[in-house]
């Protein structure tokens, strides 16, 4: 079984980003500034934000944290997002999920300039993705595709089964796989006989958020399996794919060290892309 390690692939993506940043600096173009909107004090959000800030720092990209009280309502959050949208110094904005209960994420994201939407969650960017012309697309989906391409997993004409249909992972991954000429089945919690469908996949992407959900009996022998899930269990990070799948799969991405590093790398790539849209070379 081949291990689809994400770190070396992420390192390559980051090298490309650094080249583009050097070129921007040399030509006097606007340097990226990533703003992160954080509402409340959720500890796992804090950890994710720290990881993103650290990664940006590593590449010399400055960040600005806009931290709002957990009691902030839609109006205050919306005003902060609008201000960042209009701030000429800020080239990229991400809104850390989850937002407080009662705040409609869909209404907030619409207030963001789509050219600064580094998560690729604005409806205009989602629309461009689903029409086959992605610009700023969701980072995890971009990472999954890059992982498969890097390890030369054939996609054209192959059957890709994606389990999970979130707007963050499953749906955009299915769209990108289809655009890479795979034939895609998108499964979710209401799918009947999911195991039989999963077993048909030459490529199986697990984005469920349920530890060890994918068992060996659900995997076609020799399939390439991408494990997107991350859950913390007794202090360890656990994926959606059961360890027994190693005996059946032809290739498998580890957790941690698989999709995770690529999500961060593609976030940073989107940050550079957004700066390029606002101030082209």
Ligand X SMILES: NC(=O)c1ccc[n+]([C@@H]2O[C@H](COP(=O)([O-])OP(=O)(O)OC[C@H]3O[C@@H](n4cnc5c(N)ncnc54)[C@H](OP(=O)(O)O)[C@@H]3O)[C@@H](O)[C@H]2O)c1
Residues marked as catalytic: 52, 96, 119
Instruction: Select the residue interacting with ligand X from 64, 231, 257, 279 (CB under 6 A).
Output: 231
Residue 260 gets the label, from left (phi > 0), alpha (psi -120 to 50) or beta, of alpha
Per CB under 6 A, the segment of 10-18, 120-128, 154-162, 225-233 that binds ligand X is 225-233
What is the spatial distance between Cα 115 and Cα 113, in angstroms, rounded to a whole number? 5
Piece in contact with ligand X (CB under 6 A), picked from 39-47, 58-66, 214-222, 258-266: 258-266
246 binds ligand X (CB under 6 A): no
- Asked if residue 168 binds ligand X (CB under 6 A), the reply is yes
Q: Which residue, 96, 71, 60, is CA-closest to 81? A: 96
Q: Does 7 bind ligand X (CB under 6 A)?
A: no
- Contact with ligand X (CB under 6 A): which of 78, 120, 164, 254? 164
Using the rule CB under 6 A, which residue among 173, 253, 263, 270 binds ligand X? 263
Backbone angles phi, psi at 68, to 5 degrees: -110, 150
97 secondary structure, DSSP code: S
Q: Determine, following the binding rule CB under 6 A, whether residue 170 of this chain makes contact with ligand X.
A: yes
Contact with ligand X (CB under 6 A) among 199, 210, 237, 277: 210
Q: What secondary structure letter does DSSP report for 116? A: G
- Regarding 165 and contact with ligand X (CB under 6 A), the answer is yes
| Widest Cα–Cα separation across the chain | 57
x/- contact string, 127-146, with ligand X (CB under 6 A)?
Answer: -------------x------
Nearer CB in complex with ligand X: 158/212:
212
By CB under 6 A, the count of residues binding ligand X is 25
Q: Which residue, 237 or 278, has its beta carbon nearer to ligand X?
A: 237
Question: Alpha helix (H) ranges present in the chain?
Answer: 7-26, 43-58, 74-86, 105-109, 123-130, 139-150, 170-179, 194-198, 259-278
Q: What is the DSSP string of 211-242?
A: TT-B-GGGS-TT-EEEE---EEETTEEE-SB-
Bin 175: left if φ > 0, else alpha if -120 < ψ < 50, else beta: alpha
The least distance separating ligand X from the CB of residue 170, rounded to whole angstroms, comes to 5
Start-to-end CA distance of the chain, whole Å, equals 43
H or E element in which residue 199 lies: none
Shortest approach of ligand X to residue 79 CB, angstroms?
27
Q: Between residues 125 and 140, which has the closer beta carbon with respect to ligand X?
A: 140
One character per residue 179-198, x = contact with ligand X (rule: CB under 6 A): --------xxxxx--x----
Q: Which residues bind ligand X (CB under 6 A)?
A: 140, 163-166, 168-170, 187-191, 194, 207-210, 228-231, 259-260, 263
């Amino acid at each position: 079984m081949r291990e689809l390690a994400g770190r070396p692939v992420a390192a390559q993506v980051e090298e490309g980003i650094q080249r583009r940043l050097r070129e921007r600096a040399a030509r006097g173009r606007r340097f990226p500034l990533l703003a992160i909107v954080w509402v409340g004090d959720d500890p796992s959000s804090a950890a994710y934000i720290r990881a993103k800030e650290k990664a940006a720092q590593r590449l010399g990209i400055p960040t600005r944290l806009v931290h709002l009280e957990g009691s902030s309502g839609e109006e205050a959050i919306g005003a902060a997002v609008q201000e960042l949208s209009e701030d000429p110094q800020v080239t990229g904005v991400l809104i850390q999920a989850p937002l407080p209960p009662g705040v409609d994420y869909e209404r907030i994201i619409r207030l963001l300039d789509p050219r600064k939407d580094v998560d690729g969650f604005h409806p205009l960017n989602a629309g461009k993705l689903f029409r086959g012309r992605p610009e700023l697309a969701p980072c995890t989906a971009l990472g999954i595709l890059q992982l498969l391409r890097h390890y030369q997993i054939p996609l054209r004409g192959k059957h890709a089964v994606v389990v999970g249909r979130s707007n963050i992972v499953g749906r955009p991954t299915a769209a990108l796989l289809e655009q890479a000429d795979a034939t895609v089945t998108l499964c979710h919690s209401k799918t009947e006989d999911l195991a039989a469908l999963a077993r048909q996949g030459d490529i199986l992407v697990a984005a469920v958020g349920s530890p060890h959900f994918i068992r060996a009996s659900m995997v076609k022998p020799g399939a390439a399996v991408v494990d997107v899930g991350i859950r913390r269990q007794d202090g360890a990070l656990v994926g959606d794919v059961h360890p027994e799948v190693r005996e059946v799969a032809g290739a498998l991405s580890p957790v941690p060290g698989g999709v995770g590093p690529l999500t961060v790398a593609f976030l940073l790539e989107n940050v550079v892309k957004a700066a390029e849209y606002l101030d082209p070379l």
